[in-house]
Structure 1
Amino acid sequence: MLKACHERIAAQCATLDKLTAYLPEHGSDAQAQQAARNIMRYFDVAGAHHHADEEQDLFPMLVEVGRRQGQAVDELIASLLGEHRSMEAAWARLRAVLADIAEGKAQLLERAGVDDFISAYASHIAKEERDVLAFAEANLDREQLASLSAVMVARRSAAHQ
């Protein structure tokens, strides 16, 4: 589920990149407004769930398993948590502009800010897949994986109620 989430994050980042290039020529037209709404919806809801999946469930489980096995993962997890906070702050800045675009107000997305946001997510995803998900797959048993999956599904089900 986490890898699938990463793919959707990358897809939304690609849409954000296209929107940044689209706006100077077309402005906040209907297509731009819809793209902005879609990006906001994804990062406001699914992106928040993804961070919660990791921070509340996966990361604590990995730290515990790492401690039992004598493998230090604390620094890696701390680094990833710091990246989450940084990406959330960058998202808050981007979201403010996207909200204006979604309302049809003429706005341009700052290329440097968008590039930094996309780059930060790409780097973060690569680190998680290389280090965290590989560690999880190698060290969590089926029961732990099933427990994680159930919590993730419940988090998303509760959001739809």
Structure 2
Amino acid sequence: MKSDRLLVKPAPSFDEPVEMLKACHERIAAQCVTLGKLEAYLPLHGADTQAQQAARNIMRYFDVAGPHHHADEEQDLFPMLIEAGRRLDSPVTERIATLLGEHRFLEAAWVRLRAVLADIAQGKARPLERVSVDDFVGAYRSHMAVEESHILPFAEACLDQQQLDRLSAAMVARRTHTPQ
């Protein structure tokens, strides 16, 4: 047995902003799995305590962490990559334009799903439509695959330490800002 199999890789910190974005994708994927399980669970069990808790957890994630993640990309990462992409004549700029459109689709799909989840969280028996769940989950999986195969590797290759530090600082600030 290799000894490194016993070691758990520590979670990335904001000192590693690209790794933090990847970790966020893992959490999005986990919430999408939970959403799919909830869709299958409801017809058999209704909006019982477990379904209510699952709905609350999904809403908490996509109401708070999801918007932060999109803002990390749109306000900080993507502008840096667009600048680098133009300088290097990279197709990353067109990919980013597509990803921005996908963010709007995902946000609109979330609003529709959230309305149903809010009822479930309150114990109201309401079905999650499979097509809505599948569209949302499928769109997120496809979106994250593009980011992980094209955007984040480009970021790792072209962003210098100063840019990574700015990205990190913006991510931290976004999560520690308290509304007035």
**Shorter-chain TM-score above 0.5:** yes
For Structure 1 versus Structure 2, the TM-score category normalised by the shorter chain is over 0.9
User: Which structure carries more helix by proportion?
Assistant: 1
Deviation string for 1:85-118 (max 9, x for gaps)? 0111111110000000001111110011101111
4+ long deviations beyond 6 Å: none
Deviation string for 1:105-156 (max 9, x for gaps)? 1111001110111111000000001110010001001111121011101111
Gaps of 5+ in 2: 1-19
Residue aligning to 1:87: 106
- Find the residue that maps to 1:147 and give its secondary structure: helix
Deviation string for 1:21-71 (max 9, x for gaps)? 110011001111111011001001000000000000000010011122232
Q: CA RMSD in A?
A: 1.3
Question: TM-score of the superposition, structure 1-length normalised?
Answer: 0.96
Q: Once the two structures are aligned, what percentage of the paired residues are identical?
A: 73
Q: How many residue pairs are counted as aligned between the two chains?
A: 161
One-letter code of the match for 1:66?
A: G
Question: TM-score of the superposition, structure 2-length normalised?
Answer: 0.86
- Distance, in Å, in 1 between the alignment partners of 2:88 and 2:178 is 35
Residue aligning to 2:149: 130
- Distance, in Å, in 1 between the alignment partners of 2:28 and 2:119 is 22
1:72 Cα deviation after fit: 4.0
